Amino acid sequence: MSEASGIIALKLSDDLTEKIMQHELYEELSEEIVSSLLSEAQIEQVSPEDFELTIEEDDAGDPPSIENGYLLLSVWGESWLDISNLLVQSGKCIEFYGWMEEDSGLSEYYTLSKEGKREIGSFHSEGVEKPKVTTYSGDEKKEEYFKEIDGIYEKWRASLPPEVTEIL
């Protein structure tokens, strides 16, 4: 099984933000916290037990922080890929932006904006898949393919609010 890590920015309730900020680094988030995250995102069809979510220090050794009103987390583990996709595809009432890289070569970029924009950009460094951005709207899914990886990154950066662009 490969490993995944990345950086995410979330806009959540003050209560949930505080619970995550006080959580022990390198320890799996409690079911209560994961349940609260799913509940705030109005996702009910999955169980918090399905996710083993771990938060760590970033590359500079900094713990989670609040930047420009967003909870900024350095995350680790395969479950973050799963919950990131779930939040973008089905989440509501929260904002979620970030990127994840898997050591198998998969990279994903996420946007769930307050305006309801839902996109996942993905590419594989080994060329296993064509680089693409998938946009979700209700039950519909639209895929836009790119010749170059840079197109995905540029589209993702353009989708970020200015206050998130500064921190990611």
pLDDT above 80: residue 32: yes
What does the pLDDT read at residue 127?
Answer: 79
**Average pLDDT of the residues in 13-40:** 95
What does the pLDDT read at residue 128?
Answer: 79
Mean pLDDT of the chain: 93
What does the pLDDT read at residue 1?
Answer: 54
Share of the chain above pLDDT 90, in %: 83
pLDDT in tens, 68-105: 999 999 999 999 999 999 999 999 999 999 999 999 99
What does the pLDDT read at residue 148?
Answer: 87
d(CA 108, CA 131): 10
70-96 b/e (C-beta count within 10 Å ≥ 16 → b)? bbbbbbbbebbbbbbbbbbebbeebbb
- Considering Cα of 98, then 136, then 39, then 76, what sign does the dihedral take? negative
pLDDT above 80: residue 53: yes
Share of the chain above pLDDT 70, in %: 99
pLDDT in tens, 98-140: 999 999 999 999 999 999 999 999 999 887 788 999 999 988 9
What does pTM read for this prediction? 0.93
Backbone angles phi, psi at 4, to 5 degrees: -135, 150
